Each structure stands twice: as C-alpha cells, then as structure tokens.
Chain A
C-alpha cells in the first residue's frame, strides 16, 4: 500500500471550500439553535399553559428521531408537501437547527431551573417585571451555568454537520467523498478527513470548559 497525497495537494482549494462550508454551517446552526432554543426553554417554563405540552412534545420527538431522517425529510419530502424547493444548504441549515434547538432548549431550561426560586421572589418583590426578571436576573446566570453542556452541544453540532453530506451539501465530508470517487484515493482522503475533524472538534469542549472556569463565579449564587 503506497501513500499518495497528491490528490489532497492538487485539490486543496476544493477541500478548503468544503472545510469553510462545514464551519459556516455549524456556526449558523448553532446561532439559530441558541436563539430558538432559549425561546423554547422560556416557553416551556413561562409560556401559556396550553402551549407547554406542545413544546414538550416537540423536544421529546426530536430526541426520538435521528437527525438523518430530519435532514432527508426536509430536503426531499418538504418540497413535495409545500411546493417550495430548498437548496441543500438551506435544507441542512433548517433541519439541523430544528434538531439542535430541542437539545439547546433542554440545556437552557436546566440552567434556568437550577437558579434558586428565592431569586425570582426577591426580584419580583423589588418591583421588577417578569421580563426584567428573566432578562436581568435569570438568563445571565443561566447562560454562564450552561456553558459546559453548551460546549458539548457545539461539538455535537460540528459532528452532525457532516451528516448534511447525504443531501449533497458541499461540506468537508462531501468534498472528501467526491474526490475519493474521482481520484481512487480513499485512504489518504478519508484519513485526512478523520484527523481534520478531530482537530476541529477536540479543542471545542476544552476551550469552552476553560472559558467556563474563568466565568463560573458569575453564575454562582
């Protein structure tokens, strides 16, 4: 077995575009999921009583359906159902966000409920409105407390972004698979992909944990 890295060197621009796509897809998924997930968490705790079971049902359903199924459904079945064709990137962004949002919602909800009820009572007694209570007292503490699981979720999001290759989003795994089929060099290409993904994902949880250690005192009460 001889190793030939020339397909990697010759196509580095193509692979770099794939890598950029992996990073942007993960980033925007995480941004959208953090905003929506926080909204879902707040909805589950403070929302109208009739609305809460719907959100609970959404979160529990997401936990029981594979992300691949959500991706494939969004890309292939959604256009048939609603007559709107989604480009692969948007289908992947929507499907991944739909999936990750549920997990973020659970993380944020755990953070919010971990803050002692005495603080809520104190804030209300000081004359704060419900909105002020959430914005000034609860959310800032909750966000600090949930940093470690948030970091794990970020790592999971990068891993899940690779699944978008099945609907032909030109992210890194898809670029690797395409090149491997063209150049007959699967060993070099897939091994490089494995190392590259490890190099991206491994530092994420470490970095977030070390940031958390600096900020942990802000979430303590």
Chain B
C-alpha cells in the first residue's frame, strides 16, 4: 500500500472552503436557533393551553426524529408542499435550525425553571417590576445554569452539520467526499477529514467539560 499525502495539500482549497462552510453553518444555525428556542420556550410556558400544546408538540416532534431524515424531508418534500425552492445551504440551515430550536427551547426552559419561585416572590415583594425581576434576578442566574447544556448542544450541532452533506451542501464532509471521488485517494482523504474534524471538535469538547465543571449544577 503506497500512500500519497500530497493530495491533501493539492486540494487544500476544497478543505479550507469546507471548514469555512462548516463553521459558518454552525454559527448561523445557532444565531437562528437562539431566538427560535426562546420563541418555542415562550409557547411552552404560555398562558393559553393551545399555544402550550403547540410548543410541546414542536419540541417533542423535533427531538424525536433523526436529523438526516429531516434534512431529506426539507430538501425533497417541503419545496413541493409550499412551492418555495431554497438552495442546499439554506435547506440545510433550515433543517438544523428546526431541530436545534427544539433543543434550545428545553434548555432555556430548564434554566428559567431552575430558579426557585421564592426568589421571584421575594423580588416582587421588594417592589421590583416583573421586567426587573427577570432582568436582575432570574436571567443572570439562568444563563449560568444554561451555559454548560447550551455548550453541549453547540458541539452536537457542530458535528451534525456533517449530515447536510447528503443534500450536497458544500461543508467539510461533502468537500472531502468530493475530493475522494476525484482523486481515489480514499484512505488519505478520509483520514484527513477525520483529523480536521478532530482538530476543530476536540478543543470544543474540552471547553464543554470545563464549562460543566465551572457552572454545572450539583444536586
């Protein structure tokens, strides 16, 4: 078996573009899914039963289906149903955002619920307005509790972006598989892909561990 690692360097453009798109997809999905998650959370805790049911159904549905299947569904079925045709990148972004919003909604809800009702009552008794209670008492504490779980979701999302390669979104996995198809240097290209993912993901995984140690809630 003779290995030829120069193919990696020769196709560095494809790998760099893949990394850029993977990072871009991760960041954009999170930017959409934070407001998305807050919106779904507000549905979940709404005063009206219908809205609560919609929020619950959204969360339970999107947390219990495989992402890769949703990617296919958004790619093949949604355009026909609503007659809007999105480019692959936007399709991938939409599929990822739908699922991550559901996870974020549960994370945020758990964060807000973890602050004891007594604190809210006390703050209200001190004469704070409801907005002040949220801004000064509840949210600063909730953010610290949410941070470790949010970071875990971030790392899962980073890895899950690889799944939109099935609809030809030009991220790292897709770029690498394209290079493999062009050069037939299967072992070199796929190993390079795994190493690049490792280099990007390993520091993130370690950062998550650190956040869990620093902010994790001990029962």
For B186, the chain A residues whose CB sits under 8 A away are: 76-77, 80
Docked-complex contact B1 and A80, CB < 8 angstroms: yes
B60-81 to A contact mask, C-beta < 8 Å, 1/0: 1100111111101100110011
Q: Could you say which interface size class chain A belongs to? A: 35 or more
B residues contacting the other copy or chain, number (CB 8 A): 41
Within 8 A of A (CB), among B108-136: none
Contact B202 A61, beta carbon cutoff 8 Å: yes
B206 at the interface (CB under 8 A from A): yes
Q: Is the CB of A69 within 8 A of B173?
A: yes
Q: Check A61/B198 contact, CB under 8 A, given A73-B191, A76-B190, A190-B72.
A: yes
Is B187 an interface residue when CB atoms closer than 8 A count as contact? yes
Report yes or no: B165 in contact with A68, Cβ–Cβ below 8 A: yes
**Is the CB of A201 closer than 8 A to any CB of chain B?**
yes
Which residues from chain A contact B60 at a C-beta distance below 8 Å? 202
In the assembled complex, B21 has its CB within 8 A of some CB on chain A: no
Give the distance to chain B from A80, nearest Cβ to Cβ, in Å: 4
Q: Looking at the assembled complex, report how far the CB atom of B15 sits from the nearest CB atom of chain A, in whole angstroms.
A: 13
A180 to B206 Cα, complex, angstroms: 42
Interface contact A159-B163, CB-CB below 8 Å? no
Residue in B69, B201, B204 whose CB lies within 8 Å of A173: B69
Asked if A63 CB lies within 8 Å of chain B CBs, one says yes
CA distance A178 to B24 in the complex (A): 31
Is the CB of B12 closer than 8 A to any CB of chain A?
no
Known: A64-B202, A65-B194, A190-B73. A81 touches B187 (CB 8 A): yes
Instruction: Tell me if A4 is interfacial: C-beta within 8 Å of chain B.
Output: no
* In contact, A194 and B65 (Cβ under 8 angstroms): yes
A71 to B206 CA separation, bound complex (whole angstroms) = 23
The residue in B64, B161, B201 that gathers the most chain A C-beta atoms within 10 A of its C-beta is B64
- Say whether A64 contacts B201, CB under 8 Å: yes
A206 to chain B, nearest CB (A): 10
Most-contacted residue by chain A among B66, B67, B70, B202 (CB, 10 A): B66
Q: Which of A65, A73, A159, A166 gathers most chain B CB within 10 Å? A: A65
Residues of B within 8 A of A (CB): 1, 60-61, 64-70, 72-73, 76-77, 80-81, 155, 159-163, 165-166, 173, 177, 180, 186-187, 190-191, 193-194, 197-198, 200-202, 204-206
Q: Which residues of A contact B (CB under 8 A)?
A: 1, 60-61, 63-70, 72-73, 76-77, 80-81, 83, 155, 158-160, 162-163, 165-166, 173, 177, 180, 186-187, 190-191, 193-194, 197-198, 201-202
Contacts A/B (CB < 8 Å), 9 sampled: A64-B197, A66-B159, A66-B197, A68-B163, A76-B180, A77-B186, A80-B1, A194-B69, A194-B73
